Structure 1
Amino acid sequence: MIWEVFRQEEAGDRHTHCGNVHAPDREMALMFAQVQHGRRMQTNSLWVAPKDEIGEVDADEAEFGGTTDKAYRWAITYNNIDASFAEEVAESEAEQEEAAQKRGDV
């Protein structure tokens, strides 16, 4: 039986898939996982799960939150401001200044 092994490097980190082991039962799988995957790098915790019990849903089978563009969440997006947008901002600022002068705010 094949068992998938997930390793956590430090407490609080995520468990990441690091490989698999072949073992007849859970106890042997845990022991093999410790020997093969737990001692190579710093390890805080190991998870061992039967391969048959792990399910997968990929992008072909389901939509994960749709296709909404959420680039606005990343500051790097604002480095590429469209020139027409910059013109609109300048026009808007000019209109605001003109309106302030008419009101006598300036």
Structure 2
Amino acid sequence: MIWEVFRQQSPDADFVHCRDVHAPDREMAKQFSVIQHGRRKPTHALWVAPQEKITQVDPDAESRDETGDGAEKPWAVFRQDKPGGYHTHCGDVDAASAADAEQAAIAAFTDDDPNSLWVVQHQYIGEVTADDVTFGGTTNKSYRFAQTYNVNPAAEEVEASESEQIEAEKQRGEI
């Protein structure tokens, strides 16, 4: 089963789609997402949702005959920032069905391209937070940068050693 992963960089940041993981269930998907998407960049929390439960918003959704169970449920809405870019959580809507959620998302969050929206019921989203695991954060890679070295002390030591060697040779009568 494929699970889409959304990463939140800090507590006040939006969740941004960062790819997917393959896992048999939600718990494994959460663990795999921590390993794959939460260890290299600063991460506050991750959301995982089954790919099959994410609905690409269809602008013709009002023509579909889809009814829910009558009870409105919260749906997370994700908007694509640019063509080919990642989807970012932009808000929530309450709806009884996927078609209703699509229409509510179009009304609330679309500028001109409703095809750039995704909706998914909150009940399908598994969350991993910094309270649950220790995310890796960033690796200090400063050792890779070119460094300047202070060669003066070493040069002074070499010069002193050579002077001592010359003085020792003079005392032994070799020079």
TM-score range, shorter chain: 0.5 to 0.7
Unpaired segments ≥5 residues, structure 2: 62-102, 113-175
Tell me the equivalent position of 1:8: 8
Deviation per CA, 1:51-98, whole angstroms, max 9, x where unpaired? 00001115x547946989xxxxxxxxxxxxxxxxxxxxxxxxxxxxxx
After TM superposition, list the pairs within 5 Å mapping 1:5-84 onto structure 2: 5-58=5-58, 60-61=59-60, 64=106
- Aligned letter for 1:25? D
- Aligned letter for 1:16? V
Change (3 A) 1:67 1:56: closer
Structure 1 runs (4+) deviating above 2 angstroms are: 60-68
Q: CA deviation at 1:21?
A: 0.2
Relative to its length, the structure with more strand (as a share) is 2
Aligned length: 67
Residue identity over aligned pairs, in percent, reads 52
Unpaired segments ≥5 residues, structure 1: 69-106
RMSD over aligned CA atoms reads: 2.5
Q: TM (normalized to structure 2)? A: 0.35
Q: Secondary structure at the match of 2:29?
A: helix
Q: Which has the larger radius of gyration?
A: 2
Change (3 A) 1:61 1:11: same
